[in-house]
């Protein structure tokens, strides 16, 4: 029995110890649970605070970005509005300029019409006065023609143009050229053309080009040209001088000067023959001032002692058949000589361009020989009929 009691004491003590241990464990577990819960609550609180803070930061960022986007959008809208306003202003400006341009164009058209009307009226008055002058009803030419056009008014006169009415530099000359509005002298530049003149300046590439052409051939062509042209110009009145240049310089080559005794004869000839066609080329006439034929024609050329030859800048002229217009004063006996010439109209005079028929060189040479022989016969007939014979050929 004693052992059983001891065992029961020991069993109770162990039972109480297990109960205390169990209760301690429970208390410890409860205490642990409470701390864990507190920690969890604290962690949750911290997480919530962090979440709130991050949400607040993100919200602030979003709000800032939204403000920036709104500002950019507003700026973009302002720029678009400015561009639209500028476009409207440009459209309005273009419309205003177009209307102003149309208005100015209309005013300019009306002004041009008025100018044309005045010009036509002035031209009609001018042509009326010109017709009166040409018919002899008026003694003086129209005032519009009594003018002198100058290329360089403030420069000194070009000596060559002043004497010969031609200059190698043309209107590009550094000196003054005076062109009269009306004159007794008509100048047809490069009117007489011939192979012997245009190819007389030999070059190193073709030195044999002039072997088949002599001065006599050129002069025969000139005689035909002289009788053909002089009869056409004499229809308008008495001619006092007729000079054709045989210079080789381009600004003088083939230039033809016709001086009439009366001013109205020169005007009538200019009015009828200017821009006419001769030999397939237009005849371009201009009024010129020749103050002295002695100063214009090279004096040494008449004596065949000119050192520059045909490259001289003064006039080297052909000798007219029968020495017509050879002097510097008009000879009344020339009327009888020119009245005996044929008045048949030349085929070269035409109102429009003439087509050129290509010929072979041999046929041209044959035609030239036949024409030269025929001209020689006509010239001998003229010399027999003429009361005034030439002293030299």
361 pLDDT tier (thresholds 50, 70, 90): very low
pLDDT tens per residue across span 25-48? 888 777 777 777 888 888 888 888
Give the C-alpha distances (Å, rounded to integers) separating 388 from 182, 220, 321. Answer: 34, 20, 11
DSSP secondary structure code for residue 315 in this structure: B
pLDDT tens per residue across span 291-313? 888 889 988 877 778 888 777 88
158 Cβ contact list (under 8 Å, min separation 6):
167, 173, 175, 176, 177
* C-alpha to C-alpha distance for 251 and 309, rounded to whole angstroms: 15
Q: What is the pLDDT of residue 131?
A: 79
Q: What is the pLDDT of residue 367?
A: 58
Q: What mean pLDDT value characterizes the chain?
A: 78
Query: Is the confidence at residue 388, as pLDDT, over 70?
Result: no
Nearest residue to 185 (alpha-carbon basis) of 130, 294, 266, 251? 266
Q: What is the pTM of this model?
A: 0.58
Give the C-alpha distances (Å, rounded to integers) separating 163 from 167, 275, 313. Answer: 10, 26, 10
Q: What is the pLDDT of residue 298?
A: 87
* C-alpha to C-alpha distance for 164 and 177, rounded to whole angstroms: 11
Give the C-alpha distances (Å, rounded to integers) separating 352 from 214, 224, 275, 323, 344. Answer: 32, 21, 9, 33, 19
């Amino acid at each position: 029995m004693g052992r059983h009691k001891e065992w029961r004491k020991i069993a109770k003590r162990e039972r109480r110890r297990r109960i205390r241990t169990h209760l301690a464990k429970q208390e410890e577990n409860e205490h642990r649970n409470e701390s864990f819960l507190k920690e969890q609550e604290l962690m949750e609180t911290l997480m919530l605070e962090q979440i709130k803070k991050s949400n607040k930061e993100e919200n602030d960022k979003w709000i800032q970005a939204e403000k920036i986007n709104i500002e950019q959008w507003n700026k973009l809208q302002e720029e678009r509005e400015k561009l639209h306003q500028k476009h409207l202003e440009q459209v309005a400006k273009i419309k205003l300029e177009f209307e102003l341009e149309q208005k100015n164009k209309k005013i300019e058209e009306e002004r041009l019409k008025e100018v044309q009307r005045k010009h036509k009226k002035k031209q009609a008055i001018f042509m009326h006065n010109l017709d009166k002058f040409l018919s002899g009803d008026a003694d003086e030419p129209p005032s519009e023609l009594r003018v002198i056009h100058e290329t360089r008014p403030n420069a000194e006169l070009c000596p060559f143009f002043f004497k010969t009415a031609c200059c190698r530099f043309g209107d590009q000359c550094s000196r003054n050229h005076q062109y009269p509005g009306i004159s007794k002298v008509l100048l047809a530049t490069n009117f007489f053309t011939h192979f012997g003149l245009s190819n007389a300046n030999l070059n190193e590439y073709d030195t044999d080009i002039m072997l088949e052409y002599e001065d006599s051939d050129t002069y025969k062509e000139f005689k035909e040209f002289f009788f053909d042209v002089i009869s056409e110009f004499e229809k308008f009145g008495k001619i006092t001088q007729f000079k054709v240049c045989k210079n080789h310089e381009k600004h003088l080559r083939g230039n033809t000067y016709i001086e009439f005794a009366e001013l109205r004869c020169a005007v009538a000839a200019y009015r009828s023959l200017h821009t006419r066609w001769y030999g397939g080329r237009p005849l371009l006439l201009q009024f010129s001032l020749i103050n002295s034929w002695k100063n214009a024609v090279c004096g040494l050329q008449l004596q065949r002692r000119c050192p520059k030859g045909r490259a001289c800048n003064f006039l080297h002229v052909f000798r007219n058949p029968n020495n017509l217009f050879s002097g510097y004063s008009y000879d009344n006996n020339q009327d009888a000589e020119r009245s005996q010439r044929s008045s048949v109209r030349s085929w070269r005079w035409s109102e429009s361009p003439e087509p050129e028929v290509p010929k072979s060189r041999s046929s041209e040479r044959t035609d030239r020989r036949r024409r030269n022989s025929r001209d020689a016969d006509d010239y001998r007939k003229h010399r027999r009929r003429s009361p005034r014979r030439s002293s030299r050929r």
